[in-house]
């Protein structure tokens, strides 16, 4: 039987994006440097300190390398007045929002220890969220041609709501790989203030039949963030067939 990978996880609340970005890239670089130092060895024959960062950011917009700055609908002055940071970064995808009430996951993994397939990796991240949503009685879906997790059918969603009948994105996903080491990850809307998405074209998607949602909006109640973190950790370990351990 293949030995399970041990992944350390860290929880970072009220996090400033720049600080988390620096922390994330430091962990990412350490994995790559270790791979290069052991290039003559088979993957799995030397230790790799992989990590899952679970983060609640202070308000920030991030723009992926394939995105358009035109999808940010605020000026620099307006960003400052609203206390929102903005960073163009090197993940895939377009523009998205991170902020309080949203659980962002940054899995920094050596995919040579799992599977060297970026599409498989994204589908696995989606699966973690889909399994978590099932615990709340919601059916998360994939849409062909789009990454992330969507709510297509929720019988309890108010029929009078402007987004009723639309495909509602509850989790955005954007990743970057270097030497098969992953960077960035997912943004899962739990108790997120959705009005922030009105200041951008979310993920560059302008289809009138698509919108953004949150677990709170779908359930009609606030959700305990610690409870969601626990479920995410469980399903991540299950989906990636690994062992998650809290960092000391």
Quick: pLDDT tens for 42-66. Answer: 999 999 999 999 999 999 999 888 7
pLDDT of 46: 93
83-119 per-position pLDDT tens digit? 999 988 888 778 889 999 999 999 999 999 999 999 9
203 is catalytic: yes
3-state DSSP percent of the chain in helix, strand and coil, to 5? 30, 30, 35
Residue 248 has pLDDT above 80, yes or no: no
Strands 85-88 and 60-63: parallel
Residue 22 CA to residue 43 CA, distance in Å, equals 26
117-160 per-position pLDDT tens digit? 999 999 999 999 999 999 999 999 999 999 999 999 999 999 99
Average pLDDT over residues 6-13: 96
Residue 165 CA to residue 168 CA, distance in Å, equals 9
- Whose CA is closest to 134, among 151, 157, 148? 151
The answer to whether 183 touches 25, Cβ cutoff 8 Å, is yes
Q: What distance, in Å, lies between the first and last C-alpha atoms of the chain?
A: 28
Of 73-77, 183-187, 192-196, 200-204, give the lowest mean pLDDT range: 200-204
Residue 156 CA to residue 12 CA, distance in Å, equals 33
Contacting residues for 175 by C-beta, under 8 A, at least 6 apart: 91, 92, 118, 121, 122, 125, 182, 183, 184, 185
Architecture of the 6-246 domain: 2-Layer Sandwich (3.30)
Other Cβ atoms within 10 Å of 82 Cβ, number: 11
Query: Among 31, 84, 125, 203, which one carries the catalytic annotation?
Result: 203
């Amino acid at each position: 039987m293949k030995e399970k990978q041990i992944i350390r996880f860290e929880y970072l609340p009220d996090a400033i994006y720049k600080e988390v970005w620096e922390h994330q890239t430091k962990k990412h670089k350490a994995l790559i440097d270790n791979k290069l130092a052991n290039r003559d060895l088979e993957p799995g024959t030397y230790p790799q300190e992989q990590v899952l960062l679970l983060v609640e950011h202070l308000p920030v917009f991030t723009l992926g390398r394939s995105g358009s700055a035109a999808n940010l609908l605020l000026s620099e002055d307006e960003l400052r007045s609203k206390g929102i940071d903005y960073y163009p970064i090197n993940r895939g995808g377009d523009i998205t929002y991170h902020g309080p009430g949203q659980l962002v996951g940054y899995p920094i993994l050596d995919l040579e220890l799992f599977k060297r397939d970026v599409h498989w990796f994204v589908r696995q991240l989606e699966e973690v969220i889909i399994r978590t949503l099932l615990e709340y009685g919601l059916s998360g879906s994939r849409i062909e041609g789009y990454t992330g997790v969507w709510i297509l059918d929720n019988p309890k969603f108010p029929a009078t709501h402007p987004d009723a009948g639309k495909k509602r994105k509850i989790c955005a996903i954007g990743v970057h790989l270097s030497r098969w080491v992953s960077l960035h990850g997912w943004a899962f809307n739990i108790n997120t203030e959705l009005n922030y998405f009105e200041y951008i074209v979310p993920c560059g998607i302008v289809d009138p039949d698509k919108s953004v949602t949150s677990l709170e909006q779908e359930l009609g109640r606030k959700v305990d963030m610690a409870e969601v973190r626990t479920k995410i950790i469980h399903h991540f370990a299950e989906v990636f067939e690994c062992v998650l351990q809290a960092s000391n």
